[in-house]
Amino acid sequence: MFSIIQAAGWPIWPLVACSVIALALIIERFISLKTAKIAPPKLLDEAITVSRSAVPGPDVVTQLEQNSALGEVLASGFRALNTNARCSEADLRATMEGTGRKVAHRLERYLSALATIASAAPLLGLLGTVIGMIEIFGSQSPSGLAGSAVGSGNPAQLAHGISVALYNTAFGLIVAIPALIFWRYFRARVDAYLLTLELAADKFARHLLALKR
């Protein structure tokens, strides 16, 4: 593998950096976007159960907030009522929506960087291809250029220029394709989580309003 990188020349090093960054982002997103950390299936029902008769105390709310992203949204509803028992429906929903936006921003973290790598890697590969072609034609003598495009000149330099062009093109696609696939996968996963959080927050807000009455 290292011999291939050496043969591809210096233009491949930005692609190597992109591949390392993309791999790190993919691993980080897999760890951060686990269902248990975002929206545990039974958490909403448990939160409704513990608040059947009254809003729980600060300790329970803090524990809920630290449970998951959904727990943060639900805990913000509890805090709104603890702060102001006469909190209006608009204020309650605004508080939970504000927390939801913070959670959404955190869920979408690094996705734009992954999308940028997916878009930039083919361009970096094309840059390497162009540089390789420049080396090919730069290796030709003036007489060789006059006679034929690649008919004379240093064969070693000619082969090196072709290898730089082909290696960079291939490596750019190798980096871009997985980055694009995983970006689309994580984008769909985040959208599904956001829908789950929105529906859960709406149901919980109605529960809290009924509890307040």
b/e map 98-114, b = 16+ CB within 10 Å: ebbeebbeebeebbeeb
Which tens digits make up the pLDDT trace of 159-212?
666 777 788 888 899 999 999 999 999 999 999 999 999 999 999 999 998 887
- N residues, the chain: 213
Range of the domain at 64: 2-212
Which tens digits make up the pLDDT trace of 135-144?
777 666 555 4
Rounded to whole angstroms, how far apart are CA atoms 90 and 70? 20
Task: List CB contacts of 141: < 8 A, sequence separation 6 or more.
Answer: 152, 153
Task: List CB contacts of 106: < 8 A, sequence separation 6 or more.
Answer: 69
As given in the structure block, the two tokens for residue 125 are 């590969």
pTM: 0.82
**Number of independent structural domains in the chain:** 1
pLDDT tops 70 at residue 4: no
Rounded to whole angstroms, how far apart are CA atoms 15 and 208? 52
Which tens digits make up the pLDDT trace of 12-55?
889 999 999 999 999 999 999 999 999 999 999 999 999 888 88
